[in-house]
Structure 1
Amino acid sequence: MLRRSIAVELEVTKELNKLLHSVETAYLNIVREVVEYAVKNNVLNATQLHKLFYHKYRDEYPGLHTHLVVQAIRQASEIAKSFVERRRKGLAQKPYPEVRSVSIRFVVTAWSYEEFVKSIAPVRLSLSLLVGRRFEVWLRPHKRFWRYWWRVLTGEARLASTLIIKRKANRWYAVFVFEIKPREEEPKSIISYDINENTVTVNRIDLPSTVDKVADWNRQYMVPELYTIKTDFGRLARRYERIRNVIIEKLKPEFALPSSNYVNVTNTREFRKRVKHLRERVRKVGRVRQIANELTKAPAIIITEELGDNPQESMIEGAVKTS
């Protein structure tokens, strides 16, 4: 099932803004402390962390709603697991993860969206922030939100039970998660494809969709439609490789050793700070989505090959052997 997250800005008053800031601060403190303990003592199970810290933080933050304490501990468990996994793979250099910001999660019993069906615009949320109190806040819905909400009303999608409240640039946003039900349609064609360095070759055979085609079956319906989609993945990879090499050469003098060698620049913070602004991943993902959209415009049976876990390495090895 596909999921789509839609962020909608909240219209908060000054009093509610202060309250959200205080709740976020308490939530962040809980996450940071639990994460540090979990990584240090290798206690990653959310249930064990709940038993260790729940009563402590209920006493420390008596006004904070119970579900927020529970969600903060669970979120800390997820962060700790992710950090330990990255450290095991050699992708994390720090002893502890640095938690700079958090997203406040609300379970289904801690927020209300019944107003959605009754209201036209704008809509209103009801949030449980403090013990025994609910706070109402207005939304600023936009076109994308209404498009997915219409799918909920028509039964094509379902709203997830968890709501996320997040602050960005001193503005508060409610993040709704929509679970989109896949459409079931009769396939109209069979598609196979071959991925090359800079192109994707597509072979499409249209299936008979009417009784007349079945009755008048002949060879013309078996003639495949063969075409290629230009991706330029190879050129894109080489281009960004040249850009990264230029960055490495510029940073090398700053990391020179007395033995006239250099520190591995790619492991430095300065290199990562510059590389993160490159749009290589975004462009590659965008092109992949364009190809997927092209192949799935009409319902079809798609035939794929077994590429394995790391197809790039196998393709490189095959190219080396043939050369």
Structure 2
Amino acid sequence: MLCRAVAVELEVSKELNKLLCSVEEVYKRIVREVAEYAVENNVTSANKLHGLFYSKYRQEYPNLNSQLIIQAIRQASQIAKSFVERRRMGLMSKPYPEVRRVSIRFTEKAWGYEQFIRSIAPVRLELSLPNGRTEVWLRPHKRFWLFWWRVLNGEAELASTLLIKRRANKWYAIFIFKLKPREEEPESIIAFDINENTVAVGRIDIKTTVSKVVDWNRQYTTPQLYTIKTDFGRLARRYERIRSTIIERLKPEFALPNGNYVNVTNTREFRKRVRKLRERVRKVGRVRQVANELTKTPAIIITEELGDNPQESMIEDVMKDELRHRIKQTPFKAVERAVEDKALERGSKLFHVSAYRNSRVCPIHFVRLERTDDWHTLRCPKGHYVHRDYASVMNMAWKITPEAWIKAFWWNMKQEMNWREHEGKSNPIIPHGIVTLLQHIMENAKASEESPAVLARGKPMNPTGEANEGWARAPPRPLGRGGGQKEY
């Protein structure tokens, strides 16, 4: 099951706002006290904490719904477990967790779940507050109706737990939808490779490839190769300069009598300024844009097997501190997880292949590429140049074909597999029809005297270049021959 959270603003009057603020204050106090006790006494079991504190808070707050007390104790147990684990890893220096914000959890018994789920177009809900059942109106938006339509169609389910949260003096109801993964026929085959500032993509459209267009225009049998600009490395370099400037400005305020300085990065003033940079928000936005671009249509998506912590293996031989920092800040696994999660929602499938020599072999002649002065451009011994990122995605596409075709990659290189165990076998994960189609496409993409090696897709046959074919215009003419536009 996939989970999606949708926040919907509540229409709150002054009286209701005061009531919700009082409930939030009591809820926060319970979570804070229970979490501090759990960490201090090393009691993180939710059942044990429930037995110790439920009766106390039930007598202290008789008007508060009992389910809210239970959920507050369970939330404190989760916070305590997370704090103890992070402290064991050396990531925490404080003696107890600080609870600054909480989300009030309403179970199905504490809000009108049954009535809400039976409604075709819900615009209000009921909450169990100290003054009894209170009706609250919603301000639904497009994203909420999108997931609610899936609930009505049976493609999703609404979780029974409702979260109420205050942010910037506004109250929001957070609904959690459990989506069923879609099953769609793949329309394309996509291979992508994550780099420091770009994501290289190779796309093969199945419908276009098998159509009659191929009979008279062979360029459509060649995969579309393009890059998505992310600038993760440039973003890390920029924020590193900004943080260094902030440290230099704050150093005089934290000077010691012996001439040394306090570690400025551990001070409240430094964290307050860094929090406004929004570095993490920018990264998350770019990661989601890449995932959305790669999963627009149902497809078979291929990428490299990165491992649990790919940055550590990448910086083993890197000596420059700045380059090591940029690599560490590139969210390789975050992009992979986002693509995998979005692929399940839209009917695509993500497969991992070996990262062995993907960018060092010519995907057309299957020979080892030679280095040039440009790090991104390699030279094939057969007489053409190859971009290493595009070679990588092309070789990933080759690797989902049967092992007999994969073996062609390493016929004159170091053997790392026992090919006798896989002789004559086919890949059991990818459908056989897709394998046959991809094999046919890649055969047509091979270089020969009649068809030279071209890694990029051919230019449009329309002589006007970028002109719209529906409203074609005359091609631009140079100045001095009539009809040309003047330059200013």
Q: TM-score range by the shorter chain?
A: 0.7 to 0.9
Partner of 1:245: 244
Taking the aligned partners of 1:144 and 1:232, their CA distance within structure 2 comes to: 29
- Change in 2 beyond 3 A, CA 1:17/1:231: closer
The answer as to whether partners of 1:116 and 1:124 remain within 8 angstroms in 2 is no
The answer as to whether partners of 1:38 and 1:44 remain within 8 angstroms in 2 is yes
Partner of 1:287: 286
Deviation at 1:180, TM superposition (A): 2.6
Alignment of structure 1 residues 10-89 onto 2, 5 Å: 10-89=10-89
Letter in 2 for 1:184: E
Percent identity at matched positions? 74
Cα RMSD after superposing both structures: 2.8
Partner of 2:272: 273
Taking the aligned partners of 1:320 and 1:292, their CA distance within structure 2 comes to: 32
Taking the aligned partners of 1:320 and 1:19, their CA distance within structure 2 comes to: 58
Taking the aligned partners of 1:164 and 1:291, their CA distance within structure 2 comes to: 29
The answer as to whether partners of 1:103 and 1:165 remain within 8 angstroms in 2 is yes
> Which has the higher Rg, Structure 1 or Structure 2?
2
Alignment of structure 1 residues 1-323 onto 2, 5 Å: 1-113=1-113, 114-115=115-116, 117-118=118-119, 120=121, 123-130=123-130, 133-207=132-206, 223-320=222-319
Deviation at 1:100, TM superposition (A): 2.4
Unaligned runs of 5+ in 2: 321-374, 376-488
Q: Please identify which structure carries the higher helix content.
A: 1
Taking the aligned partners of 2:13 and 2:292, their CA distance within structure 1 comes to: 42
Q: Name the count of aligned residue pairs.
A: 318
- Change in 2 beyond 3 A, CA 1:320/1:204: farther
- Change in 2 beyond 3 A, CA 1:249/1:163: same
Deviation at 1:279, TM superposition (A): 1.9
Taking the aligned partners of 1:129 and 1:224, their CA distance within structure 2 comes to: 60
Q: After superposition, give the CA deviation of every residue in 1:224-253 in whole Å (9 maximum; x if it has no partner).
A: 222222222211111111111111111111
Taking the aligned partners of 1:17 and 1:303, their CA distance within structure 2 comes to: 50
- Change in 2 beyond 3 A, CA 1:17/1:205: closer
Q: With CA pairs under 8 Å and 6+ residues apart, which has the higher RCO, 1 or 2?
A: 1
Q: Secondary structure at the match of 2:316?
A: helix
The answer as to whether partners of 1:200 and 1:231 remain within 8 angstroms in 2 is yes
Q: Secondary structure at the match of 1:301?
A: strand
Question: Does 204-213 or 262-271 show the bigger shift?
Answer: 204-213
Taking the aligned partners of 2:317 and 2:228, their CA distance within structure 1 comes to: 23
- Change in 2 beyond 3 A, CA 1:18/1:263: closer
- Change in 2 beyond 3 A, CA 1:204/1:168: closer
Taking the aligned partners of 2:120 and 2:299, their CA distance within structure 1 comes to: 39
- Change in 2 beyond 3 A, CA 1:100/1:318: same
The answer as to whether partners of 1:30 and 1:72 remain within 8 angstroms in 2 is yes
Q: After superposition, give the CA deviation of every residue in 1:191-246 in whole Å (9 maximum; x if it has no partner).
A: 22222222221122333689867xx8xx8775322222222221111111111111
- Change in 2 beyond 3 A, CA 1:286/1:257: same
Taking the aligned partners of 2:162 and 2:99, their CA distance within structure 1 comes to: 20
The answer as to whether partners of 1:207 and 1:221 remain within 8 angstroms in 2 is no
Q: After superposition, give the CA deviation of every residue in 1:111-156 in whole Å (9 maximum; x if it has no partner).
A: 11424654657x221222349x422222222333223222222223
Taking the aligned partners of 1:140 and 1:192, their CA distance within structure 2 comes to: 41
- Change in 2 beyond 3 A, CA 1:282/1:15: closer
Taking the aligned partners of 2:128 and 2:310, their CA distance within structure 1 comes to: 48
Taking the aligned partners of 2:112 and 2:241, their CA distance within structure 1 comes to: 52
Letter in 2 for 1:254: E
Q: Secondary structure at the match of 1:6?
A: strand
- Change in 2 beyond 3 A, CA 1:118/1:229: closer
Letter in 2 for 1:177: I
The answer as to whether partners of 1:188 and 1:209 remain within 8 angstroms in 2 is no
- Change in 2 beyond 3 A, CA 1:15/1:225: closer
- Change in 2 beyond 3 A, CA 1:290/1:173: closer
Q: Secondary structure at the match of 2:315?
A: helix
Taking the aligned partners of 1:189 and 1:139, their CA distance within structure 2 comes to: 40
Q: Secondary structure at the match of 1:135?
A: strand
Taking the aligned partners of 1:156 and 1:247, their CA distance within structure 2 comes to: 49
Q: What is the TM-score of this pair, normalised by structure 1? A: 0.87
The answer as to whether partners of 2:125 and 2:137 remain within 8 angstroms in 1 is yes
- Change in 2 beyond 3 A, CA 1:318/1:225: farther
The answer as to whether partners of 2:186 and 2:298 remain within 8 angstroms in 1 is yes
Q: Secondary structure at the match of 1:317?
A: coil
Taking the aligned partners of 1:20 and 1:199, their CA distance within structure 2 comes to: 46
Q: Secondary structure at the match of 1:111?
A: coil
Unaligned runs of 5+ in 1: none
Taking the aligned partners of 1:254 and 1:102, their CA distance within structure 2 comes to: 34
Deviation at 1:190, TM superposition (A): 2.2
Letter in 2 for 1:304: T
Letter in 1 for 2:252: P
Taking the aligned partners of 2:191 and 2:209, their CA distance within structure 1 comes to: 23
Point out 4+ residue stretches in structure 1 off by more than 6 angstroms: 209-213
